[in-house]
Amino acid sequence: MNQFLKTQIKREDLPVGENLCEYCTAKCCRYFALPIDAPNSFGDLEYIRWYLLHEQATIFIEDETWYLLVHTVCRHLQDDHRCGIYETRPQICRDYTTDHCEYDDGYTYDQYFETPEQIAEYTNARFSTPETFRSPRPTLPVLN
């Protein structure tokens, strides 16, 4: 545990002059998310299902944009939750601010897919094709 890491406080209670990162476990360094094209066909959703067959990959939708989320820790994140290459970190890290980061932990996505089966269900709901994963509709009994 980071000897400098203090008890998590609410963002609005942060003392003047303190850095929010001093109270965080570096959530932003434990994944990356890339926008992907929204699927428009059965084949597109098959690619997304393929992504989810891989460990540590999930998909989310936020504001109608689809993202591939890869849960992986930056190789330069140290045990104290600090950056091991802070002075030479990539520009994307330099540009990142804590203004809207996930520090507060109360965030949910519009849609979130963790398993290939979830995408298969989504595909079945969106496309009615012979390639569907859904079981055939049962025959209803005839009532007299």
Segments making up each domain of the chain, as ranges: 11-126
Per-residue confidence (pLDDT) for residue 71, from 0 to 100: 96
Per-residue confidence (pLDDT) for residue 133, from 0 to 100: 53
Count CB-CB contacts under 10 A for residue 132: 14
Per-residue confidence (pLDDT) for residue 112, from 0 to 100: 96
- Alpha carbon dihedral 59, 61, 67, 70, in 10-degree steps, equals -40
Distance, in Å, from the CA atom of 1 to the CA atom of 7, rounded to the nearest integer, reads: 11
Per-residue confidence (pLDDT) for residue 59, from 0 to 100: 98
Distance, in Å, from the CA atom of 135 to the CA atom of 133, rounded to the nearest integer, reads: 7
Residue numbers in the chain where pLDDT is lower than 50: 1-2
Cβ(39)–Cβ(68) below 8 Å: no
Tens digit of each residue's pLDDT (9 = 90 or more) over 33-75: 999 999 999 999 999 999 999 999 999 999 999 999 999 999 9
Per-residue confidence (pLDDT) for residue 19, from 0 to 100: 82
Per-residue confidence (pLDDT) for residue 118, from 0 to 100: 95
